Amino acid sequence: MVVHYGTNSESRDRGMSEPETKTGQTSLAALYAEPFRVQRPARQTVPFVFASPHSGSCYPADFIAASRLTPLALRRSEDAFVDELFSGAPGLGAPLLSARFPRAFLDVNRAPDEIDAAMFDAPPKVAIDLPTSRVSAGLGVIPRIVRDGAEIYRSRLKAREAEERLALLYRPYHAALGRLVDETRARFGVAVVIDCHSMPSQAAVPDVVLGDRYGASSTALLTRHAEQAFQLQGFRVARNTPYAGGFTTILHGRRDREVHALQVEINRHLYLDEEHIVKKPRFSEIKARIDHALAALVALSPELMVRAREQTRFAAE
């Protein structure tokens, strides 16, 4: 496996990332220089690309200083350790893209114009759409709150921060994912993005939720195959409820171009102490079961996915 650290000039192989403190703090410059990492197999053998947009745990020291919350409280928005849960992907022949920046700092699973202008001391020089329900709730591309509803910032942000975060974190992340998708589709004729997440534990929430935007971002064959792969490992699986897929599935799921996108949510109660953001003793067991599910998932033939789309098209004509 080869690890590439994404930079804003070019990607390069590195044996380790920018040194961080035990609390996960780093400098903002270091984070802007290396916003993500790509773990590649020695040779890609399957048409799958895995992405973990919310497991980043490199917190800029300036961000922590500007927040009214403790570092632990900020981490409660993380999909903590999801990159580790899905780290078996490169061993199965698929690349894994992981954001290094935290979700509380920037959420790449939102549209770039989902910005709350009231968070800034002047109008940011970026496109801003009409407020969505997510923006109104404080969960735009630059979040105002963490998962439990606590306000992040002590005061308004400088307008340039919106521009910097989008230019130096958001766009490089999606550009890197787009390149992986293009490379994969060129090699196999089809590409599948598996967008990896975790969800807060709640009563009656299943172990795994698969989101394909009700069939818009993924062929039914792929969703059904993923559902069976997780069920065979003893996971309780639901589709599209309560999570049907976010901006990543909209942006990169282009079935008309032979690109499918499927969001996978893992219930945190399985592996995480949500109060202290530490792994439960069962973490290794859960990861092993996910590894087996992924092995079954990536065994799906690319020819079958192409054929399924063609049959759907012909049936509609």
Write down the domain spans for the chain: 2-316
pTM assigned to the model: 0.91
Helix (H) or strand (E) holding 173: helix 171-188
The whole-angstrom separation of Cα 268 and Cα 274 is 7
- The pLDDT tens digits of the residues spanning 21-56 come to 335 788 899 999 999 999 999 999 999 999 999 999
10 Å Cβ neighbour count for 285?
12
Amino acid 2: pLDDT? 66
The average confidence (pLDDT) of the chain is 90
Say if residue 232's pLDDT is above 80: yes
What average pLDDT does this structure show over 302-312?
66
- The pLDDT tens digits of the residues spanning 66-106 come to 999 999 999 999 999 999 999 999 999 999 999 999 999 99
Say if residue 227's pLDDT is above 70: yes
For residue 164, which of 11, 31, 295 has the smallest C-alpha distance? Answer: 31
316 — pLDDT class (breaks 50, 70, 90):
very low
Q: 66-83 b/e with 16+ CB inside 10 Å = b?
A: ebebeeebbbbbbbbbbb
Write down the architecture of domain 2-316 according to CATH. Answer: 3-Layer(aba) Sandwich (3.40)
Per the model's pLDDT, the better-predicted residue between 13 and 133 turns out to be 133
